[in-house]
C-alpha cells in the first residue's frame, strides 16, 4: 500500500486534485511497488529493459483535495511475459471513500524499445512478475 499526501499545487481552481495528477500518483505507487518486490526500476533499466506505459484507464469516483492523504493499492492484474496490466485502487485514508479505480497497460522492451519476451530475456525478472500476478504488491 502506497500512502501519499496531496499537495496544494496538485489541485485546480475548484480545490480538487487535477485529473492528470492521478497518472503521476499511479506511477509513484507502481515504482514503489516494484521496489517492494526487490525489483527497483533502476535495476530493470540496468538490465537494458524498459516497461513503457502503452495505455491508461481511470474512473474518477470522489475527488481528493489539498491535504488529503490517499492510499493506493497496486496489483499486477495480468501478465504474460510480453505485456502486463497493473490495477490501482485509490482511497481517501480519512474517509475510506473510493477516489479512483485505474489501470495501466505496459509492454516489455529492450533499450531500443523493441518488444521482448521477459521470460526469454530475463527469467529471474519474469519469475518475480509472475509470482505477483493477481496479488497486491
Q: What is the pLDDT at residue 99?
A: 98
Give domain status of residue 51, yes or no: yes
Q: What is the pLDDT at residue 119?
A: 92
Q: What is the pLDDT at residue 132?
A: 84
Domain coverage including residue 101:
2-131
* CATH for 118: 3.10.129.10
Give domain status of residue 137, yes or no: no
Q: Which tens digit of pLDDT belongs to each residue from 87-97?
A: 999 999 999 99
Q: What is the pLDDT at residue 60?
A: 97
How many domains does one find in the chain? 1
Give domain status of residue 136, yes or no: no
Q: Which of 86, 127, 119 is nearest to 103 (CA)?
A: 86
* pLDDT beneath 70, residues of the chain: 135-136
Give domain status of residue 121, yes or no: yes
Give domain status of residue 37, yes or no: yes
Number of H helices, E strands in the chain: 4, 7
Q: For residues 16 and 63, is the Cβ–Cβ distance under 8 A?
A: yes
In this structure, the dihedral spanned by the alpha carbons of residues 47, 137, 84 and 69, taken in order and rounded to 10 degrees, is -110
Q: What is the pLDDT at residue 43?
A: 93
DSSP letters spanning 7-55 = PGGGB-TTSBB-TTHHHHHHHHHHHHHHHHTT--HHHHHHTTEE--EEE
Amino acid at each position: 500500500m502506497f500512502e501519499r499526501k496531496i499537495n496544494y499545487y496538485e489541485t485546480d481552481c475548484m480545490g480538487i486534485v487535477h485529473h492528470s495528477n492521478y497518472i503521476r500518483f499511479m506511477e509513484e505507487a507502481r515504482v514503489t511497488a516494484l521496489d517492494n518486490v526487490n525489483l527497483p526500476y533502476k535495476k530493470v533499466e540496468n538490465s537494458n529493459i524498459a516497461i513503457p506505459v502503452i495505455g491508461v484507464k481511470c474512473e474518477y469516483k470522489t475527488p481528493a483535495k489539498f491535504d488529503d492523504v490517499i492510499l493506493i493499492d497496486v496489483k499486477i492484474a495480468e501478465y504474460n511475459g510480453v505485456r502486463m496490466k497493473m490495477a490501482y485502487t485509490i482511497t481517501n485514508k480519512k474517509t475510506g471513500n473510493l477516489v479512483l479505480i485505474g489501470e495501466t497497460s505496459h509492454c516489455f522492451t529492450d533499450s531500443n524499445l523493441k518488444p521482448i519476451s521477459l521470460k526469454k530475456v530475463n527469467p529471474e525478472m519474469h519469475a518475480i512478475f509472475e509470482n505477483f500476478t493477481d496479488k497486491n504488491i
